[in-house]
Amino acid sequence: MKAIPYGLSSYKEIQQKGSYYVDKTQYIPQIETAGSFLFLIRPRRFGKSSLLTMLECYYDIARADEFEALFAGTYIHEHPTPEKNAYLILKFDFSKVDSDIDKVEASFQEYIEGCLFFFCEKYRHLFEDRYISMMETKKTAHGKLEFLLTYIGIKGLKLYLLIDEYDNFANTILSTAGQKPYHKLTHGAGFFRFFFSLLKGATSLTDVGISRMFITGVSPVTMDDVTSGFNI
């Protein structure tokens, strides 16, 4: 009997351990045709994170050699789409950002920078030395991200951006610190609003920096505040 993967959200780990898995790969073709920039809100413990890790495994060009091992026995193994293993994957999980109002901005910046560093390490063979040198001159996480997305667009690379629990720390701040700190975070010159403005700009470039994006969370409130809907 297969074990129930309680508490596991990593699709790869679930498959490697041979745990029980309800096949959701049949939705991959539907997701592709639904749109390029998607937003999924569901309650906690609804399987959003495991869905994102499944998409990560399926679309990542760096995991092409793992397709057989990770998807044997699933719907998508027998019905792969042309976009299989066709993207660079950049993934953020905002539940890892410190929601303490005095630490949140520094924590956010540090987390984004860390994700960008390991992204470049993973796909190092696709980046020129001069790109790495220029990236090191960027002093902020936003500056590094904008530079990365512009470079990817100019080089004609395809990026799939995954954001899990996009509203995690924002919701915590709203519930614990109140409306004023939350408003500072998500309106005007707030760093979180600026982050999403940067992403929006990257989806509308002539040379597209983000080809696909999938965002998950528990509420549309923060998304509406930081983007006025973002057209997703």
Q: What is the pLDDT of residue 63?
A: 95
Structure tokens at 3: 């074990």
**If you classify domain 11-225 with CATH, what class do you get?**
alpha beta
Q: What is the pLDDT of residue 196?
A: 87
- Name the band, by pLDDT with cuts 50, 70 and 90, for residue 4: low
- Name the band, by pLDDT with cuts 50, 70 and 90, for residue 14: low
Phi then psi for residue 134, to 5 deg, are -70, -40
- Name the band, by pLDDT with cuts 50, 70 and 90, for residue 205: low
The arithmetic mean of pLDDT across residues 63-85, rounded, is 95
- Name the band, by pLDDT with cuts 50, 70 and 90, for residue 8: low
Q: Residues of the chain with pLDDT > 90: what percent?
A: 51
Whether residue 231 is predicted with pLDDT greater than 60 in this model: the reply is no
Q: What is the pLDDT of residue 18?
A: 62
- Name the band, by pLDDT with cuts 50, 70 and 90, for residue 119: very high
**What count of other Cβ atoms lies within 10 Å of the Cβ of residue 26?**
11
Number of H helices, E strands in the chain: 12, 4
Whether residue 230 is predicted with pLDDT greater than 60 in this model: the reply is no
> Which of 21-35, 160-174, 205-219 comes out lowest in average pLDDT?
205-219
Could you state, in order of their start, the residue ranges of all structural domains in the chain? Answer: 11-225
Whether residue 220 is predicted with pLDDT greater than 80 in this model: the reply is no
Q: What is the pLDDT of residue 215?
A: 94
**What count of other Cβ atoms lies within 10 Å of the Cβ of residue 51?**
21
Whether residue 214 is predicted with pLDDT greater than 90 in this model: the reply is yes
Whether residue 229 is predicted with pLDDT greater than 90 in this model: the reply is no
Structure tokens at 228: 């006025």
Structure tokens at 132: 């790495």
162-to-57, 187, 224 alpha-carbon distances in Å: 12, 23, 18
Q: What is the pLDDT of residue 124?
A: 93
Any residues with CB less than 8 A from the CB of 201 and at least 6 apart, and which? none
- Name the band, by pLDDT with cuts 50, 70 and 90, for residue 94: very high
Higher pLDDT among residues 3 and 107, named by residue: 107
The arithmetic mean of pLDDT across residues 211-215, rounded, is 93
